Amino acid sequence: MIRARVRALLDEVAAGTASVDDALARLDAEPIETLAHTTIDHHRALRSGYPEVVYGSGKTVEQVVEVCASIAARSERFLVTRASDEQRAALVMKFPDAVTNALARTVRWSMGGLSASSVSSVSSVSSVSSVVAVDVAAPGKHVTIVTAGTSDLPVAEEAAETLAALGIGVERLTDVGVAGIHRLLSKTAALQSANAVIVVAGMDGALPSVVGGIVRVPVIAVPTSVGYGASFGGLAALLTMLNSCAAGVVVCNIDNGFGAAMAAARAIGA
């Protein structure tokens, strides 16, 4: 249940067009829905501002479609992360106006408000995408997502799609790692204009410390599993980021672009 629905229901009670008992019955039916394979928390949107996000990995196509249809009916939007090709295809069949991102492995849908053009190209070092969902959560605010290398883009795009689903604008700085730090420094103004910065990096994981020394807004570091043998699947980058010498840099789990985006949204009050 979304807050707008609760407000409308309370207005009906205040106006006398709905009884208290009717309102209680409608509210009582909302908190959870038990399917054969999933128990859906429909009050999550009311509590935290966005409905339960569907993690596609490990679920069948049929399970993902059923869960999304249920969430869409109650909350009028959904986001699926780590969605397979088959899951994405099935969701587009069910929701033709859904936005899919193969690189991010995501699908997002909002009633009447999203189109495939909502996300711009990520090939440019400083490409800007003002991705806004139906109900803009943070008008005038945006998060800059910085990637150390092109190989980090899948994780960065997961973060971008999550922010888009939340109605938060996104600016991208792509392939600006410390091996060519002049690329990042030339974009200092763009960094400093952000309300929060997500830094996605594998290999040595040094980029968040550099960014943390440039900006005064929250910096959320995301280590990726990109790198050679001694990167240990992202563990080396994770430890580097946890030991950042830049004050105030916080770190998400390896490859967790979704978690970084949710943390950024909370940090900017979205």
Left (φ > 0), alpha (ψ -120 to 50) or beta: where does 125 sit?
Answer: alpha
Left (φ > 0), alpha (ψ -120 to 50) or beta: where does 36 sit?
Answer: alpha
Mean pLDDT of all residues in 127-151: 65
Give the model's pLDDT for residue 20: 74
pLDDT higher than 90, residue 169: yes
Phi, psi of 240 (to 5 degrees): -60, -45
Lowest-pLDDT choice from 101-115, 142-156, 171-185, 214-228: 101-115
Reading the block at residue 225, the tokens are 């599993």
Strand 219-223, strand 196-201: pairing: parallel
* In the chain, % of residues over pLDDT 70: 77
Q: What is the pLDDT of residues 21-61, one digit of tens each?
A: 776 666 655 676 556 786 666 666 667 767 788 999 999 99
Residue owning tokens 């990726």: 224
Query: DSSP per residue over 67-113, as a string?
Result: HHHHHHHHHSEEEEES--HHHHHHHHHHSTT-EEETTTTEEEEETTT
E-assigned strand segments in 58-160: 77-81, 99-101, 106-110, 128-129, 142-147
pLDDT higher than 80, residue 261: yes
Asked if residue 129 lies in contact with residue 145, where contact means CB atoms within 8 angstroms, the answer is no
Phi, psi of 156 (to 5 degrees): -65, -40
The chain-wide mean pLDDT, for the chain, equals 83
Q: Which one, of 216, 159, 213, lies nearest residue 181 by Cα?
A: 213
Q: How confident is the model at residue 3 (pLDDT cuts 50, 70, 90)?
A: low
Q: Which residue has the higher pLDDT, 95 or 117?
A: 95
Reading the block at residue 129, the tokens are 């995408």
Reading the block at residue 245, the tokens are 């010498």
Alpha-carbon distance of 8 to 36, in angstroms, equals 31
Alpha-carbon distance of 252 to 224, in angstroms, equals 10
Domain boundaries, the chain: 31-110, 119-267
Q: How confident is the model at residue 137 (pLDDT cuts 50, 70, 90)?
A: low
- Topology (CATH level 3) of domain 119-267: Rossmann fold (3.40.50)
Q: How confident is the model at residue 116 (pLDDT cuts 50, 70, 90)?
A: very low
Give the model's pLDDT for residue 128: 34
Mean pLDDT of all residues in 155-182: 94
- Give me the half-sphere count of Cα atoms (radius 13 Å) on the Cβ side of residue 65: 14
SS3 112: coil
Mean pLDDT of all residues in 124-137: 35
SS3 165: helix
Residues 6 or more apart in contact with residue 4 via CB below 8 angstroms:
none
SS3 186: coil
